[in-house]
Chain A
Amino acid sequence: MSATPAVQHMGPLRATASPEVVAAFRLATGWREAEGPPPASFPVIVMNLPEIGGAVRAAAHEVGLPVHEAQHFEYVRPIQLGESYDLMLEFRREHEPARLIVTAEVFATDGARVGRIVSTLRLIDPAAIPGAAIPGADSQGATRP
């Protein structure tokens, strides 16, 4: 099996801040009102789109369970309800410890830059954890590797 290249790119990948999904996300993350603008953290859901999840699974297949270690969002303009965006993605593999760092540069459909999302995933080899708790805590990634 050949190793995944250290850096891969993908995109543009179009995603929409659907009002229904934004409302559900708001309620699931502690907002009192479903109605309102997309939270800054809302775009994390794009990291689980099939196209991105496939790349995460490919990396996980080589090592093990993807565990969400850190997350970053930054904006030059806010995400707008109902608007579509184009994502340019970079998947960067690190070793020792094994990590997959997914960076999405977010653009409006007219090409204007909107922001950046960075998801850092530790790749945990289950065989290396003999019944012990995983350091670094949260997990992410679409499916069981």
Chain B
Amino acid sequence: MTESKAAPRVGEKLPARTIGPFSAADLAEYAEISGDSNPLHLDLAFARGFGFTARPVHGMKLLAAFEPMLRDWRGDLAVIALTGQFLTPVLEGEAASLTARIVKIEQSEKTFVAFLRLIAHTASGAPALMGEARLTPVES
């Protein structure tokens, strides 16, 4: 982990991370904690009724998984904004890969904001999530 408060370089890529594969128990645990108990994530027959071959993983579980990845990369930066658009579902039994890179730095006299493009892919390579994070140095 880098502990410098220097701004990262535009174009820098974070180490990719694979999460999952996700089990039905993983989905049930997230549903219980988050309160998102939509049957699409929990009831296989219901999910199949909507055309899925397995229960889809909560998109928020993917978006939230970027945060420990960002923390491991630069523990001296804090997330001040996080956005995600949920695209292709990741299904129960599948893994997902998370990637991120710096797309812009806004530098001011005393601090900076780093803009990161976030992309999660399904195991087959389809985009599962596209998003953005904005990070700034933690105030000491």
Interface residues of A (CB under 8 A from B): 21, 24-25, 28-32, 39-41, 44-45, 47-49, 53, 65-76, 78, 124, 126, 129, 131-134, 136-144
- Are A49 and B35 interface neighbours, CB within 8 A? yes
Q: How many contacting A-B pairs (Cβ < 8 A)?
A: 145
Dominant secondary structure of chain B at its interface with chain A? mixed
- Are A28 and B88 interface neighbours, CB within 8 A? no
CB-CB under 8 A from B59, the residues of chain A are 68, 71, 137-138
- Are B50 and A126 interface neighbours, CB within 8 A? yes
- Are B38 and A28 interface neighbours, CB within 8 A? no
Min CB–CB distance B40 → chain A (angstroms): 4
Contact with A along B42-53 (1 / 0, CB 8 A): 000010011110
CB-CB under 8 A from A76, the residues of chain B are 80
Min CB–CB distance B89 → chain A (angstroms): 4
CB-CB under 8 A from B9, the residues of chain A are none
Q: Report the separation of the CA atoms of residues A91 and B106 in the bound assembly, to the nearest whole angstrom.
A: 33
- Are A68 and B68 interface neighbours, CB within 8 A? no
- Are A138 and B68 interface neighbours, CB within 8 A? no
Min CB–CB distance A116 → chain B (angstroms): 9
Interface residues of B (CB under 8 A from A): 19, 26, 29-30, 33-41, 46, 49-52, 56-61, 63-65, 67-69, 71, 78-89, 128, 134
Pick from B40, B51, B52, B63: contact of A71, CB under 8 Å: B63
Q: Report the separation of the CA atoms of residues A59 and B56 in the bound assembly, to the nearest whole angstrom.
A: 22
**Chain B, Cβ-Cβ closest to A33:** B68
- Are B50 and A133 interface neighbours, CB within 8 A? yes
Q: Report the separation of the CA atoms of residues A39 and B35 in the bound assembly, to the nearest whole angstrom.
A: 16
- Are A72 and B33 interface neighbours, CB within 8 A? no
- Are B35 and A48 interface neighbours, CB within 8 A? yes
- Are A66 and B51 interface neighbours, CB within 8 A? no
Q: Report the separation of the CA atoms of residues A25 and B36 in the bound assembly, to the nearest whole angstrom.
A: 12
Min CB–CB distance A27 → chain B (angstroms): 8
Contact A28 B33, CB 8 Å, known A40-B67, A138-B89: yes
CB-CB under 8 A from A28, the residues of chain B are 26, 29-30, 33-34, 61
CB-CB under 8 A from B63, the residues of chain A are 41, 71
Min CB–CB distance A73 → chain B (angstroms): 5
CB-CB under 8 A from A78, the residues of chain B are 78
Min CB–CB distance A59 → chain B (angstroms): 14
Q: Report the separation of the CA atoms of residues A141 and B59 in the bound assembly, to the nearest whole angstrom.
A: 13
| 23 A-B pairs whose Cβ atoms sit less than 8 Å apart in the complex | A21-B33, A25-B34, A30-B65, A30-B69, A40-B67, A41-B60, A45-B33, A45-B34, A47-B36, A48-B37, A65-B38, A65-B50, A68-B36, A129-B50, A132-B51, A136-B87, A137-B59, A138-B60, A139-B38, A142-B35, A143-B37, A143-B39, A144-B38
